[in-house]
Amino acid sequence: MTGAGSEEEPKTEEKETEEKGKAPVVVLTADTFENSISRDYTFIKFYAPWCGHCKRLAPTWDQLAVKMVSNPSIKVAKVDCTENDNRPLCSKEGVSGFPTIFLYHDGDKVTEYEGNRSLDDMANFLKSNMKPAAKDEL
């Protein structure tokens, strides 16, 4: 019987590793927010864990992060607005409902995403809102 108990522990660790491996969503807090959005593109979901719409969006958000991992100029991130330290941040960013999704570029808010919450629609939104790197700025 002691063997069964020791078998469950690795399963829990394995599950956590799988979850970390499959969803490269960056978890932001009030402390890490400014630095994270300061360069390139950051697509952020502001959410509450109890929110039904947020729960339904979570798997698609994870899939979007996986899909975007090959593009180094975009981060897919999330902020839990129910955590005490994050509440002022969510308020400052204009979050009034959950989920609220904003795209940031080089520290500035570009736009709010208000489209369909399908993987393809969100990926297409990112592609259409990302400016190609300007090669001839000089």
Catalytic site residue from 3, 5, 21, 52? 52
Q: Which pLDDT score is estimated for 52?
A: 97
Is 52 a catalytic site residue? yes
pLDDT tens column, 2-40: 444 444 333 333 333 334 455 689 999 999 999 999 999
- Give the orientation angle of helix 119-129 with respect to helix 52-68, to 10 degrees: 60
Q: What is the per-residue pLDDT across 53-109, written as a single tens digit (0 to 9) for each?
A: 999 999 999 999 999 999 989 999 999 999 999 999 999 999 999 999 999 999 999
Catalytic site residue 107? no
Full-model pTM: 0.80
Q: Check 53, 94, 107, 115 and give the catalytic one.
A: 53
- Is 81 a residue of the active site? no
Chain centre to alpha carbon of residue 102: 10
Please give the pLDDT value at position 130.
86
Exposed/middle/buried for 26, CB within 10 Å: 0-12, 13-18, 19+?
Answer: middle
133: confidence class by pLDDT, cuts 50, 70, 90: low
Q: Any catalytic annotation for residue 5?
A: no
- Rounded distance between C-alpha atoms, residue 16 and residue 1, angstroms: 24
Q: For the chain, which domains are there?
A: 24-129 (3.40.30.10)
